[in-house]
Amino acid sequence: MRQSTECTAPRSPLPFLVALSHAIRPNPFYVLGFRVIIPAPVNGSIRGRQAPPRPPRAWVEVNLAAVAENARTVARVAGTRLLPVVKANAYGVGAVAVSKALEALDPWGYGVATLEEGAELRAAGITRPVVVFMPGQPALFPEFERFRLTPALGDAAAIAEWTGRGTRPFHLEIDTGMGRSGVRWDEIDAVRAAANTPALEGCYTQFHSADRRDGSAELQLERFERALARLERRPTVLHVANSAAALANRRFAFDLVRPGVFLYGGSPGEGFPEPRPVVSLRARVLTVRRVAAGESVSYNASWRAARTTTVATLGIGYADGVRRAVGLSGCGAVLLGEDGRRCPIIGAVTMDLMMVDTGDRPARVGDVATLIGEGDGEGKRERISLEEFSAWSGELQRAVLTSLGPRLPRIYD
Ligand SMILES: Cc1ncc(COP(=O)(O)O)c(C=O)c1O
């Protein structure tokens, strides 16, 4: 059980000014009046977009200009064209909004993981190549043709099935050490005859540890090049680099790079350029209570007050993608209210709600708490980075982003 004294954030010396600012300022939702509110797609669909009828209890703000700037950074560092990875609804950020924002950068195409994700881009008017990075299933090939999607293939039978249907392109995946899909680099001869076709547009591999700079990407690259040399023809585009590899060394750049997490504000690791933050996660205070010393908060009485304090309950929970661990780590915090003060997250995060300790400072129903991003309102002094929040969650930044649930509207700046 956590005590309220662990990992306590420094408290502002100006509680009365804060109270005053709450008293004289309305707690409006006007910020949203300037933005486009798009309910997050449910089941991968964005059809039926409409503004929520009232201010949401919790939401995700997305800075599309920052996505575009991060994409420009990758393209500049790598010195080549982009195949932005917008799978999993662009890591939860919004695939259609992101792809449309990136059109201005003239990417070669887009990468998705499923047929449905590709179809969604087509429905939104994206006409560039869309590569589906998932072992291609022949049963789905008619749908691939219908939406002009490019399958990723890794065995001779699937290649023969695809090329037997017509001349549409495919990309050959070569497994150089990831051990999950594609033809193994040392078994490339098995696809040599089938891949000897003008439909072979691209060849690629995926690095397992490019962020670690441990030499494994170089070894995988060597295997990739050895396998390529055994093919009858060089396809038009070769691509091997995820965000980390694209930013690490131009020898990984080839014809295209495939950044994902960096576009969405995720840091690829130490020693890499920092992306511009893209995502802010916010929730409103829905109820406030005083909790006496010794009383508990949340399931399993997972937090107990060391002294009498104020507890604010936020309208966001693990069903929205906030891990239970954020509250159990004893280190998680939110930025609360107009001054953006840090308040510790206390007790296990519950399905729809989570609690924060505001100490002796007032909190009001309707106040905005920031879980990721810069504090809302005037007190934009503090920021909780995606990296920090992910560490409290015990998760990868990618996992935190892709877990942000469909109940959270996405608001695009
Ligand atoms: C085939 C492929 N390329 C590129 C990426 C993007 O990787 P990252 O998010 O590390 O940039 C992924 C992500 O998992 C992927 O599966």
Q: Per the residue annotation, which of 100, 110, 299, 380 is the catalytic one?
A: 299
Residues forming beta bridges with residue 203, ordered by sequence position:
172, 238
pLDDT at position 55: 73
- Tell whether domain 65-264 is in CATH 3.20.20.10: yes
Q: From the CA of 259, give the closest atom in ligand 1.
A: 11
Residue 134: phi and psi, rounded to 5, are: -155, 135
User: Average model confidence (pLDDT) for the chain?
Assistant: 88
String of DSSP letters for 266-305: ---STTSPPPPP-EEEEEEEEEEEEE-TT-EESGGG-EE-
CA distances from 137 to 143, 152, 189, 205 (A): 11, 9, 21, 19
Hey, whose CA ends up nearest to atom 6 of ligand 1?
A: 260
> Of 85, 191, 96, 180, whose CA–CA distance to 135 is shortest?
180
- Name which of 43-47, 103-107, 203-207 the model is least confident about: 43-47
| Predicted local confidence at residue 378, as pLDDT | 67
Is 87 annotated in the active site? yes
pLDDT tens digit string along 261-272? Answer: 999 999 998 899
pTM beyond cutoff 0.85? yes
pLDDT tens per residue, range 90-132: 999 999 999 999 999 999 999 999 999 999 999 999 999 999 9
Q: How far is the CA of 133 from the centre of ligand 1 (A)?
A: 9
- CATH for the 2-61+277-412 domain, from 2.30.110.10, 2.120.10.10, 2.40.37.10, 2.60.120.10: 2.40.37.10
Contacts of 223 by beta carbon, 8 Å cutoff, 6+ apart: 174, 176, 177, 185, 186, 205
Question: Residue 54: which pLDDT band, with cuts at 50, 70 and 90?
Answer: low
Between residues 87 and 55, the one the model is more confident about:
87
Residue 85 clears pLDDT 70, i.e. is over it: yes
User: Taking the domains of the chain in order of start, what are their residue ranges?
Assistant: 2-61+277-412, 65-264
pLDDT tens per residue, range 151-189: 999 999 999 999 999 999 999 999 999 999 999 999 999
Strands 410-412 and 58-62: parallel
